[in-house]
Amino acid sequence: MSNTVASTVPFPKPANDPIPLISLIPQYNNIKQEIDEAVQRVFTSQNFVLGDEVAQFEADMAAYCDSREAIGCASGSDALLLALKALDIGPGDEVITSPFSFFATASCIDRVGAKPVFVDIEERGFNLDPAAVEAAVTPRTKAIIPVHLFGQCARMDPICRTAVKHNLAIIEDAAQAIGAEYRGRRAGVLGTVGCFSFFPTKNLGGAGDGGLMTTDDAQLGNRLKKLRVHGDYGRYEHVETGINSRLDAIQAAVLAVKLRYLDSWTEGRQRNAAWYEELCEREKVTEAIELPVTLPDRRHVYNQYCIRVRDGLRDHVMESLREEQIGCAVYYPKPLHLQPCFAHHGYKEGDFPISEQVASDILALPIFSELTLNQLERVVTGISNALKSASKSLPQSYKKAA
């Protein structure tokens, strides 16, 4: 690890300007003219749904992900739902997935009438444990949904071997992982269907909701195109029931502009992650927190930068940072198997100990590419001060971490 930051830059003097967990304003200001022109072009044409803007963006995304097909839709949640429907997954079927993810990962399984079968995650990387996936397969299993959480791909080789062995589909939840790579291949082409979200705070975020699916199966891609328009096979001929989930032309126009900058923004996030590591080592806060790691054969795109705060100090650190107007958040505070709406599946506390432990000590810090070194230093200073204050204000049992 280079000592450039630690040896040449002093820690900043106290500042009162808030540091948000994420701000979209600097990104927009840097490309405002291009975005405004793209939006105006759509208004001039008055073609707001699908059309040339969407077709061009789909082609750009297919090229970016190296997929044969890319099909836009209304949201990342709809992408998962459409993928499940296109693979004929429904009542009586089981889909293996992670309990440590955003709610949509499992809710879409439930919405098609199938059962989400949760398995625990790996402690490093927070993604599905391939051995647990293999152990969970039953005659009713139809698919696996690995989640490339926080911008790092799951360990796909063994997951793919399990899928081939049991003739299972793989639906990649790549909502947080556009541009992430596993052994040189992009997220979205590592399984049967890849599902992306363009929620505004994603690395590639739109001006509202939006989503997309990628696949190398032309027949499956064609079916996904029909399902997103009510299952219309042309001239109001509905062979099956789909949903209304079309990508708006305005979103496609905005996203097409932003896609040209995505790799440079990703490099900014990676730079910030490297700075965090240097600064945390310098302040010796790594004795009490665990930093995220980039696992072998991966390209981590850092949709979130999530540390783990040991010894029950997470909430204390979070509250202290917020008092200093430093943005932070918990992704995710309650694993999916403990959500009330999934209680009928019979899961209970203790079933997935790694997921439950990670949920109790994880904390997301600001990572967006426009952050300055000064701001990152303030974040680390805030963590250091919080840990030091813990030894004075918290019970004896907490003092180990500080």
Which pLDDT tens digit goes with each residue over 15-44?
Answer: 569 999 999 999 999 999 999 999 999 999
Residue ranges covered by each domain of the chain: 4-20+262-398, 29-259
- pTM, rounded to two decimals: 0.93
So what's the pLDDT on residue 232? Answer: 86
Report d(CA 24, CA 26) in Å as an integer: 6
Residue 401's pLDDT band, with cuts at 50, 70 and 90, is very low
Order of strands, sheet of 169-173, starting from the edge strand that comes earlier in the sequence: 69-73, 211-215, 193-197, 169-173, 141-145, 94-97, 115-118
Give, to the nearest 10 degrees, the angle between helix 76-86 and helix 218-227.
120
Mean pLDDT of 153-174: 98
Which residue, among 174, 166, 168, has the nearest Cα to 146 in the 3D structure?
174
**What is the residue-averaged pLDDT of the chain?**
94
Which CATH number fits the domain 4-20+262-398, given the four candidates 3.90.580.10, 3.90.1150.10, 3.40.470.10, 3.50.40.10? 3.90.1150.10
Q: Which CATH number fits domain 29-259: 1.10.3720.10, 3.90.550.10, 3.40.640.10, 3.40.350.10?
A: 3.40.640.10
Write 30-39 long-range contacts (CB < 8 A, 24+): 30/370, 31/257, 31/258, 31/261, 34/257, 35/254, 35/257, 35/258, 38/253, 38/254, 38/256, 38/257, 39/207, 39/250, 39/253, 39/254
Q: Is the pLDDT of residue 392 over 90?
A: no
Question: pLDDT band at 391, cuts 50/70/90?
Answer: confident
Over range 193-209, report the average pLDDT: 98
Kindly indicate the confidence band of residue 399, based on its pLDDT and cuts at 50, 70 and 90: very low
Beta strand ranges found along 315-370 (DSSP E): 362-365
Express each pLDDT in 265-276 by its tens digit: 999 999 999 999
Tell me what the mean pLDDT of segment 302-311 comes to. 96
78, 140, 276, 363 from 92: Cα distances, Å: 21, 7, 47, 37
pLDDT of 149 above 50 = yes
Residue 393's pLDDT is what?
Answer: 61
Tell how many helices (H) and how many strands (E) occur in the chain: 14, 13
